[in-house]
Chains A and B, each alone.
Chain A
Amino acid sequence: MNLRAARLPLLICGLLIAFTASASDADNVKASQAWIRVMPGGLPSGGYVVLENRGEQTVNLRGVRSETYGEVMLHKSSTEGGMGRMEKVDSLPIPAHGTAALSPGGYHLMLMKASKPVKVGDKVKLSLQFTDGSTLDTDFDARPANAMDSDSGMAGMAGMDHHSH
């Protein structure tokens, strides 16, 4: 009797565990503020995005694929010792219940070999790939070369905000 009564909750528990375990990395990640700094004349462009991991485990961004760009690399910039440097990164960890930001001057995507010219205002679909093989399609806003971040009004706002005399 008792055993029987315990069966249903157990089953539910089991199902829940199975469901949680089957949630892919991509299911746990939310991408926001995705944008591309569009450079003229087919020069390599930088891609930026904020990734939030809502899961219980660290998720690793392994790479990015795109139909628009023939080659996309995960890079990290640093300015140690007064020298600007870029290095290739194999994966970017997004901590459990945390975020990882690809932002100017740090981690970024290097987008190369555009198959067609990307214009400011375009939305470019990039497929973020995680180590478990799952992918997250994300629309990136194509922004002008002199944009400061994903927010369109920002550069102008800074100009209005503080005027030092």
Chain B
Amino acid sequence: MKPRLTRTLLLLALLACTTLLAACHRGEPAPWRLTDVTGHMPDLDFKLTDDHGKAVTGADYKGKVVLLYFGYTHCPDVCPLTLAQLHVVMQRLGPLADDARILFVSVDPARDTPDVMHAYVNAFDPRAVGLSGEPRAIEALSKRYRSAFTREPDKGDGQYEVSHSSAIYVFDREGKARLLSTPANPQDDLVHDLHLLLSPGAKS
């Protein structure tokens, strides 16, 4: 009886060690420099209209690494700055960037028609897509990623500003939410992480 118990205990200890070792191995420093949101945010999913006026869903971007950003075209400073920075990021990625898409989602669909969006996104990068649609569909998408936007009061001449979340959400080729980039992150971090996601044989 006794040797048997010892053996069981030994076996258990061995098992524990193996598990621990495996855990240690898995716990190797995370390769990401941006905030890893894997498993904490829902997959890419929406029903919107692209800047060619075509109805699109999240599934249409399967196979591409997606950078999702909320903004609006009447935003003269921060939105263009972010998109210009993303353009530089795409340039730095070289040919790898062909497998990435910048999805610029308008939080101001009343003014941002597909035509306006088309001219706007193409002024920044050929791999940028402008998405607009029903206010309800945009709200659903923004809520899905806990992104927020508010329309500021009209100044009386039909002009108004929209406050909006400044984060960039990164999805892998399977449409899984992977990373979150904020204005505080240096551009190098975004380039570094996208490089990892886009490289052949990248973990997904």
Q: Which residues of A contact B (CB under 8 A)?
A: 37, 39-41, 43-46, 75, 77, 79, 82-86, 104-105, 108, 110-112, 144-148, 155-156, 158-159, 162-165
> In the complex, A158 Cα to B186 Cα: how many Å?
13
User: Given A82-B182, A146-B83, do A39 and B120 touch, yes or no (CB 8 Å)?
Assistant: yes
Given contacts A148-B88, A158-B92, contact A83 B166 (CB under 8 A): yes
Residue in A closest to B79 when the chains form the complex, CB atoms: A84
> Size class of B's contact patch?
35 or more
CB interface residues, B 94-146, toward A, < 8 Å: 116, 119-120, 122-125
Looking at B7-15, B53-61, B70-78, the stretch in contact with chain A turns out to be: B70-78
Is A83 within 8 A of B163, CB to CB?
yes
Report B-chain residues with C-beta under 8 Å of the C-beta of A159: 88, 91-92
Q: Could you tell me which B residues sit within 8 Å of A by CB distance?
A: 71, 73-81, 83-85, 87-88, 91-92, 116, 119-120, 122-125, 148, 159, 161, 163-167, 182-183, 187-188, 191-192, 195
List 21 interface pairs A-B (beta carbons < 8 Å), by A numbering: A37-B80, A40-B119, A40-B120, A41-B116, A44-B74, A46-B80, A82-B167, A104-B77, A104-B84, A105-B78, A105-B81, A108-B76, A110-B76, A145-B84, A146-B80, A146-B83, A146-B84, A155-B87, A156-B91, A159-B88, A164-B191
Contact, CB under 8 Å: B76 / A85: no
CB distance from A29 to the nearest CB of B (A): 22
Q: Other than A84-B166, A110-B76, give 17 A-B pairs with Cβ distance below 8 A.
A: A44-B74, A45-B76, A83-B148, A84-B78, A85-B163, A104-B77, A105-B81, A108-B76, A111-B76, A112-B159, A145-B80, A145-B124, A146-B83, A146-B87, A146-B125, A162-B188, A164-B191
